[in-house]
């Protein structure tokens, strides 16, 4: 396992990585341009040192890039030039195809990049919401195998899952990106006069609407085709349910029963509560 780790971007994901790895490595440094985030991370012991300059990663063996998707490529390339030859760099962006393609075109030959995406997070941003257990039991997609990355993830309790960047973006559209937009649409549907009745179910369904705006816009811009396809599939299913409801078809109980059984089966396999 890597003994010297750098984390670029000390928001929720980067901060949680720091907390999770802090007692498992000899040294962990952070790169953060937001002075408030940087001071918080240092003051609360998330990192041993922090800088706004990527030069601080020079002696790291493993670098995690935890910035919005639109910033990943530039950060990876700058980190690659600042790091020693042979340093392994991975990212946490929720879109992978463009990131992986552009990084591989620009990466110095002596460096190694592994695309990554933890399927974990919260709607809150910043190191103040960091959680050492955020990734425990959660899938973490990797686009390639690498012992340093895999050992670090397993030490966090994450479950490495391997797939191509293109396949990741297709699947992420279904299980992550469309739910984000559905959550936003539900929130926009709520009228002020209805707010007093909004309870736990509505709260659960709309949590993602409070997600970081820049991250949401980056996701929509970079994975729009896969999101559109997944959205069409969702709308088709939703229309099927609405049609059965309006027409009082016997199909409605079957559809709801099938959905219920699928949820129970997936929850049992995944350990959801």
Say which CATH number the domain at 210 has. 1.10.3660.10
Mean pLDDT of 131-159: 96
Which residue, 108, 141, 163, sits at the end of a domain?
163
If asked whether residues 139 and 40 sit together in one domain, one would say yes
If asked whether residues 245 and 125 sit together in one domain, one would say no
Q: In this prediction, what percent of the chain has a pLDDT beyond 90?
A: 91
If asked whether residues 24 and 137 sit together in one domain, one would say yes
Q: Where residue 129 falls among pLDDT bands split at 50, 70, 90?
A: very high
pLDDT 10s digits, 165-198: 999 999 999 999 999 999 999 999 999 889 999 9
Q: Where residue 159 falls among pLDDT bands split at 50, 70, 90?
A: very high
Count the neighbouring beta carbons within 10 Å of the beta carbon of residue 60.
26
If asked whether residues 141 and 219 sit together in one domain, one would say no
If asked whether residues 205 and 229 sit together in one domain, one would say yes
If asked whether residues 207 and 106 sit together in one domain, one would say no
Give me the CATH number covering residue 43.
3.40.50.720
**pLDDT given at position 111:** 86
If asked whether residues 64 and 150 sit together in one domain, one would say yes
User: Poorest-confidence range of 40-44, 59-63, 105-109, 184-188?
Assistant: 105-109
CA 184 from chain centre, in angstroms, equals: 18
Say yes or no to pLDDT of 123 above 90: no
Please state the φ and ψ torsions of residue 64, each to the nearest 5 degrees: -105, 125
Q: Is the pTM of this model over 0.75?
A: yes
53: which 2 tokens?
Answer: 């300059």
If asked whether residues 132 and 186 sit together in one domain, one would say no
If asked whether residues 198 and 153 sit together in one domain, one would say no
Mean pLDDT of 139-149: 97
Residue 25 sits in which domain range?
4-163
pLDDT 10s digits, 222-248: 999 999 999 999 999 999 999 999 987
Give dist(CA 266, CA 244) in Å, integer.
Answer: 25
If asked whether residues 140 and 265 sit together in one domain, one would say no
Residue carrying structure tokens 């996701």: 219
If asked whether residues 133 and 191 sit together in one domain, one would say no
Which residue, 146, 163, 180, sits at the end of a domain?
163
Say yes or no to pLDDT of 273 above 80: no
Q: Average pLDDT, whole number, for the chain?
A: 95
Residue carrying structure tokens 């935890």: 66
Q: What is the CA radius of gyration of the chain?
A: 20
Closest CA to 92 of 143, 48, 164: 143
Which residue, 163, 183, 208, sits at the end of a domain?
163
Mean pLDDT of 138-151: 97
**pLDDT given at position 109:** 82
If asked whether residues 179 and 159 sit together in one domain, one would say no
CA 259 from chain centre, in angstroms, equals: 26
Burial class of residue 157, CB neighbours in 10 A (0-12, 13-18, 19+): middle
Number of folded domains in the chain?
2
Q: Where residue 253 falls among pLDDT bands split at 50, 70, 90?
A: very high
């Amino acid at each position: 396992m890597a003994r010297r780790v750098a984390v670029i971007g000390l928001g929720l994901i980067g901060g949680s990585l720091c907390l999770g790895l802090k007692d498992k490595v000899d040294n962990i440094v952070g790169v953060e341009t937001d002075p408030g985030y940087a001071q918080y991370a240092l003051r609360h012991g998330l990192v041993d040192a922090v800088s706004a300059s990527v030069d601080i990663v020079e002696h790291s063996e493993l670098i995690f890039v935890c910035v919005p998707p639109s910033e990943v490529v530039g950060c990876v390339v700058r980190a690659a030039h600042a790091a020693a030859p042979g340093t392994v760099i991975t990212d946490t962006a929720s879109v992978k195809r463009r990131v992986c393609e552009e990084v591989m075109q620009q990466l110095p030959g002596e460096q190694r990049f592994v695309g990554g995406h933890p399927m974990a997070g919260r709607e809150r941003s910043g190191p103040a919401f960091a959680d050492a257990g955020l990734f425990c039991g959660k899938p973490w997609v990797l686009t390639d195998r690498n012992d340093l990355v895999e050992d670090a993830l397993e030490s966090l309790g994450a479950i490495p899952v391997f797939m191509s960047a293109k396949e990741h973006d297709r699947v992420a559209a279904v299980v992550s990106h469309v739910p984000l937009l559905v959550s936003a649409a539900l929130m926009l549907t709520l009228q002020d006069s209805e707010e007093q009745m909004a309870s736990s179910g509505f709260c659960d369904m709309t949590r993602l609407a409070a997600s970081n705006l820049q991250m949401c816009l980056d996701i929509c811009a970079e994975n729009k085709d896969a999101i559109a396809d997944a959205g069409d599939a969702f709308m088709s299913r939703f229309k099927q349910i609405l049609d059965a409801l309006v027409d009082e078809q016997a199909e409605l109980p079957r559809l709801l029963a099938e959905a219920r059984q699928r949820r129970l089966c997936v929850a049992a396999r995944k350990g959801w509560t």
